[in-house]
Amino acid sequence: MPTARTVYVPEGTFGVLDAGEIPVQTADWSNGLTAPMSHGALIATGIHTGQVRVTAEALNGPPDTSADEAWEEVVEVSVHAPAGRLQVESLEDGPVPGHPLLSPSGPSWYRLRVHARGRSILPDKVATSPVEDYLLLAWPSSPADAAVLRSSERIDYALAHSDKAPAPSPAPTVTPRQDALRRRLLER
């Protein structure tokens, strides 16, 4: 298994971005952990600012779900990579050295399984050392609906408060913190 790397988190979010692009206006925050965008995805952390530990691995196919039991939260989403360059990135520092390319099959759709542990330890606080762990697994796959494989109170709350009514252009549920991040990123 690959080695965990620290990722700097500004404003409670890091990304699995395709060529560094952040189409934040397309983010679907409805599951409270992983927000897929028109390409790439954002990961919501518990901390507001600081370091988290992230392990990432590209796979050929879906992983065994037995390892999911060691994690507090597990969410799976489809991620589009039109440039074929999905990487773990700090939204402030860019790509994280030492993490693999998560889209080794090039431009395509991928399934991203995000495992999280520790998001409730320092909610919306500054972490001077990592208190949260993430495991990101990606493999080539056709687009499919998001799936919550292991829930938490935080995910249950996000799901209960998301707009589930079908609409031509559904407006995602966005927390004030996520909205502030969206505004900051749009100003770039």
pLDDT digits (tens, 9 = 90+) for 155-187: 888 888 876 433 333 334 555 666 666 666 666
Q: Are 38 and 100 in contact (CB under 8 A)?
A: no
139 Cβ partners below 8 Å, 6+ apart? 58, 59, 60, 61, 62, 63, 110, 111
pLDDT at 151: 85
pLDDT at 169: 32
| CATH number of the domain bearing residue 78 | 2.60.34.30
90 closest CA partner among 179, 12, 175: 12
Residues of the chain with pLDDT under 70: 1, 163-188
pLDDT at 166: 34
160, containing H or E segment: helix 153-160
Domain hosting 91: range is 5-186
- Give CA–CA dist 122/156, Å, rounded: 19
pLDDT at 170: 35
Domain count, the chain: 1
- Give CA–CA dist 137/139, Å, rounded: 7
pLDDT at 174: 56
Q: What residue type is assigned to position 95 of the chain?
A: P
- Bridge partner residues of 15 (DSSP): 42, 89
With 0-12 / 13-18 / 19 or more C-beta atoms within 10 angstroms meaning exposed / middle / buried, residue 178 is buried
- Give CA–CA dist 12/25, Å, rounded: 17
Q: Quickly tell me which residue has 């209960």 as its tokens.
A: 160
- Bridge partner residues of 113 (DSSP): 76, 137
pLDDT at 50: 98
pLDDT at 39: 96
177 Cβ partners below 8 Å, 6+ apart? 11, 12, 48, 124
Instruction: Note the pTM of the prediction, 2 decimals.
Output: 0.85
